[in-house]
């Protein structure tokens, strides 16, 4: 039963986020991207602080040790982000040489095949890690698995929107881009299978897995999503951001309550 729930959760988060990103990128809903960012940030923070961390601290492991893992996780994801930025900057420098790039020129460039494969490989590795984290949550509690899947789905949508844009610039075909990114998203299920095997054999270390998952969600929300929302806006637009952020928190709480009731 737990394995089936993990497969359903990982496929929903991995592939479902790609299709939702396609709807937002290629459809009439593209103008609501900022609302999706606010919703994702609220969902991630609520999942980390209201569900995963409380569950981790219910065990017998000292709070000091868990906070140390949380800090190490945040630093790790920061360094991982820096490594990725350095890699992209290095490739960009080789591609354009010493010539300065004109403002707006990047919007009209086409991704090279090597760049497309780099996006797909990086996306697959990231999705694999998401699958392990979702499996860890399901192994702790069904409702935690459900809200973790929801949080991953929400925060992957903006990420996959960028992937689809890069692949479409290289291939020029929406369908091909969607299929390739969907296959990368499906790797989440493989991560879920490994997570099920790994966590089942390391049950005593489950609180550590939950804290690492929390650090991932917190870092993505605070370092990636919320900075994109820190723009000069009107009072009405700011109120909409806050409302969608709160909606993400309420949505995760509601889903958690329904899963717990079942």
Each residue's pLDDT tens digit, 80-122: 777 765 655 554 455 444 444 443 333 434 444 444 565 566 5
* Farthest CA pair distance, the chain: 61
Reduced 3-state DSSP string for 170-221: HHCCHHHHHHHHHHHHHHHHHHHHHHHHHHHHCHHHHHHHHHHHHHHHHHHH
Instruction: Indicate whether 198 belongs to any domain.
Output: yes
The first and second tokens of residue 5, run together, are: 């729930």
Q: How many domains, the chain? A: 1
| Long-range contacts from 168-174, C-beta under 8 angstroms, 24+ separation | 169/109, 169/110, 169/111, 170/110, 170/111, 170/112, 170/113, 170/115, 170/116, 171/116, 174/22, 174/26
pLDDT of residue 158: 67
pLDDT at 199 over 90: no
Instruction: Indicate whether 100 belongs to any domain.
Output: no
Rounded Cα distance, 237 and 256, in Å: 29
Instruction: Indicate whether 98 belongs to any domain.
Output: no
pLDDT of residue 70: 94
Instruction: Indicate whether 135 belongs to any domain.
Output: yes
Rounded Cα distance, 188 and 132, in Å: 8
Instruction: Indicate whether 104 belongs to any domain.
Output: no
Among positive and negative, which fits the CA dihedral 127, 132, 135, 141?
A: negative
pLDDT tens per residue across span 30-87? 566 677 778 778 888 888 898 788 888 987 889 999 999 999 989 988 887 777 656 5
Instruction: Indicate whether 142 belongs to any domain.
Output: yes
The first and second tokens of residue 88, run together, are: 């992209």
Instruction: Indicate whether 21 belongs to any domain.
Output: yes
Instruction: Indicate whether 101 belongs to any domain.
Output: no
Q: Find the domain containing 74 and state its range.
A: 2-90+110-261
pLDDT of residue 108: 39
pLDDT at 243 over 70: yes
């Amino acid at each position: 039963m737990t394995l089936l729930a993990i497969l359903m959760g990982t496929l929903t988060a991995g592939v479902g986020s790609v299709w939702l990103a396609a709807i937002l990128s290629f459809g009439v809903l593209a103008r609501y991207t900022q609302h999706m960012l606010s919703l994702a940030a609220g969902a991630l923070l609520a999942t980390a602080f209201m569900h995963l961390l409380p569950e981790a601290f219910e065990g017998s492991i000292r709070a000091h040790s868990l906070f140390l893992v949380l800090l190490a996780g945040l630093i790790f994801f920061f360094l991982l982000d820096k490594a990725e930025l350095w890699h992209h900057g290095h490739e960009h420098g080789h591609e354009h040489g010493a010539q300065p790039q004109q403002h707006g020129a990047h919007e009209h460039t086409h991704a090279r095949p090597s760049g497309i494969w780099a996006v797909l490989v990086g996306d697959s590795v990231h999705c694999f890690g998401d699958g392990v984290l979702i499996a860890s949550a399901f192994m702790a509690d069904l409702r935690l698995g459900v809200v973790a899947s929801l949080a991953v789905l929400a925060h992957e949508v903006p990420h996959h929107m960028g992937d689809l844009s890069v692949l479409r610039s290289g291939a020029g075909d929406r369908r091909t881009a969607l299929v390739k990114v969907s296959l990368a998203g499906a790797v989440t299920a493989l991560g879920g299978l490994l997570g099920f095997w790994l966590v089942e054999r390391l049950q005593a270390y489950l609180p550590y897995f939950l804290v690492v998952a929390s650090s991932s969600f917190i870092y993505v929300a605070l370092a990636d999503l919320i900075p994109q929302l820190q723009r000069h806006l009107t009072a009405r637009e700011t109120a909409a951001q806050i409302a969608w952020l709160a909606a993400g928190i309420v949505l995760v709480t509601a889903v958690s309550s329904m899963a717990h009731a079942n």
